Amino acid sequence: MINIKSKSEIEKMKDSGKIVAEVLNKVEENILPGITTKELDRIASDYIIKSGAFPSFLGVPNYYGGVKFPGAICASVNGEIIHGIPDGRHLKEGDIISVDVGAFYNGFHGDAARTFPVGKVSEAALKLIEVTRQSFFEGLKFVRPNNRVSDVSGAIQDYAESFGYSIVKEYTGHGVGRELHEDPEVPNYRTNRRGHRLAAGMAIAIEPMVNQGTADIVLSNNKWTVYTKDGKLSAHYENTVIVTEGEPLIVTI
């Protein structure tokens, strides 16, 4: 069931989204060669808690029978697509890292992700990051009442694939609100269904996951981290978006 948010609920989602945006900015400031992903997780967790919120991802059950998610952020490095567990790995010059964060505040979740360069990175890595980011905004152009989810999905896919990249199909965007994952599902690619019709008051997380090489994936033994099968780079860009009668409202920027 799709939950249409009231004006007061949207105001609350703005608040949770603002915290998420601030966390991502704080994490970005600390992404330097030598820092560990666990240290980045601590920075994010401390900021979320000091803001009076709770880390949305902490303790999320594992669909595959693994442990509950142990971090405030997902920290996915290089060929890791999503759900990287923060640990003692030191980031190196030339790495890229995707940071996904959620904050639960005043009854509502905000959810967003960015891929950041670590120090000086290759032109190929920078291009992947920028194309992934722009694919989100290509999809955003279709976030209007009476358009379909598939309009958003197709725009994302067309843009990313025009650069020779591939779209991850096993994981998608989603509705967001009182629950971290709500209806509707928001794929980053065309399916054989048109998808739900968009309506003012819907809140959705749009999150392209774009691979440099093959779309094929591998699930880690920890049952969380998802890798590119060919080991090539992957990038991730996500925002929580409110459908309005006019321009869509991004609450996590």
Q: Report pLDDT for 85.
A: 99
Q: Report pLDDT for 192.
A: 84
Q: Report pLDDT for 133.
A: 99
* 167 close to 209: Cβ distance less than 8 angstroms: yes
Per-residue pLDDT tens digits for 153-203: 999 999 999 999 999 999 999 999 999 999 999 999 999 888 899 999 999
Distance CA 183, CA 203 (A): 9
How far from 187 is each of 11, 66, 173, 209, 242, CA to CA, in Å? Answer: 26, 25, 6, 10, 17
CATH, residue 202: 3.90.230.10
pTM above 0.95, yes or no: yes
Mean pLDDT of the chain: 98
Q: Report pLDDT for 173.
A: 99
Q: DSSP states of the chain as a string?
A: -PPPPPHHHHHHHHHHHHHHHHHHHHHHHT--TT-BHHHHHHHHHHHHHHTT-EETTTTPPPTTS-PPP--SEEEEETTEEE-PPP-SPBP-TT-EEEEEEEEEETTEEEEEEEEEE-SS--HHHHHHHHHHHHHHHHHHTT-STT-BHHHHHHHHHHHHHTTT-EE--SS-EEE-SSSSSEEEEE-SS--SS--PBP-TT-EEEE--EEESS-S-EEE-TTSS-EEETT---EEE-BEEEE--SSS-EES--
pLDDT at 72 over 90: yes
Distance CA 64, CA 157 (A): 28
Segment 71-97 mean pLDDT: 99
Question: Does residue 182 lie in a domain region?
Answer: yes
Segment 76-96 mean pLDDT: 99
- Write the single-letter amino acid at 188: N
Segment 219-233 mean pLDDT: 98
Q: Report pLDDT for 214.
A: 98
Q: Report pLDDT for 249.
A: 99
Give the residue from 96, 104, 95 showing the smallest Cα distance to 45.
104
Distance CA 69, CA 242 (A): 27
Q: What is the number of domains present in the chain?
A: 1
For 48, the domain range is 7-250
Q: Report pLDDT for 67.
A: 97
Segment 37-59 mean pLDDT: 99
Question: Does residue 16 lie in a domain region?
Answer: yes
Q: Which residues of 70-82 are buried (b: 16+ CB within 10 A; e: fewer)?
A: bbbbbbbbbbbbb
pLDDT at 27 over 90: yes
Q: Report pLDDT for 193.
A: 83
Question: Does residue 209 lie in a domain region?
Answer: yes
Question: Does residue 126 lie in a domain region?
Answer: yes
Question: Does residue 1 lie in a domain region?
Answer: no
How far from 137 is each of 36, 121, 146, 181, 252, CA to CA, in Å? Answer: 30, 23, 18, 21, 14
Question: Does residue 12 lie in a domain region?
Answer: yes
Provide, rounded to the nearest whole percent, the portion of the chain with pLDDT above 90.
98
